[in-house]
Amino acid sequence: MAEYFKLPCFNQENYVEIKLPRPEGSAGTNDGNGTEIICCVDTSGSMAGSPINNVCEVLRDIYQRTQKDYRLFTYNTQTDTKRTLKTLFEQNTNLQASGGTAFACIFTSIKDYLLQNSSSKKATTFIFMTDGQDNEPNSQALKKSIEMLKLILSGMTNSPPITFHVIGFGEVNDQFLNQIRTFG
């Protein structure tokens, strides 16, 4: 069985489809032995306008359909890990997209999250919603953050599955987004 979302975007003619495997024995909640879902949303200036509005619509719809308070990590050149889908739903205002993009900050936050929760018995799924445009795609900080994240993931072989999904919004960097998708 899987958790499955088919969510309208834009003018109700296009859909985002998300299908997440449900671990055996899970009733689909994000407690106990279920799946921890973390939405990682790019809030940089390149996501302004339709992309960030569509992301917020999708996130609110996920919360409204599931009533599960999944974590929401937002990032541009800094990461905010204190939000949840429920807070976004209750505030009923869109995320603000501004500034540059540094994927190094979100990869570092994910690495830190995994280390802090290394004893968790839950499968973890990260869903990236981004255009994949990093301001410094060849920077040492980005390369180091990717290496550190991959190192942590390689050492978690006995942990529940860790999966990365990517949904591109706006003009996307397909090659970089595919690299993110293969982390887990």
| pLDDT tens, position by position, 44-72 | 999 999 999 999 999 999 999 889 999 99
Q: Which H or E run contains 98?
A: none
- pLDDT, one tens digit per residue, over 100-128 is 999 999 999 999 999 999 888 999 999 99
Beta bridge partners of 125: 37, 163
- pLDDT, one tens digit per residue, over 113-170 is 999 998 889 999 999 999 888 899 999 999 999 999 999 999 998 889 999 999 887 7
Determine the Cα–Cα distance for residues 133 and 136; give it in Å rounded to an integer. Answer: 9
Judge contact between 119 and 10, C-beta under 8 A: no
pTM as predicted: 0.82
Determine the Cα–Cα distance for residues 107 and 126; give it in Å rounded to an integer. Answer: 11
Percent of the chain with pLDDT over 70: 82
Contacts of 147 (CB under 8 A, 6+ apart): none
Mean pLDDT of the chain: 84
E strands within the chain?
Answer: 2-9, 14-21, 35-42, 71-75, 79-84, 123-130, 162-168
CATH 3.40.50.150 assigned to domain 34-181? The reply is: no
Judge contact between 8 and 96, C-beta under 8 A: no
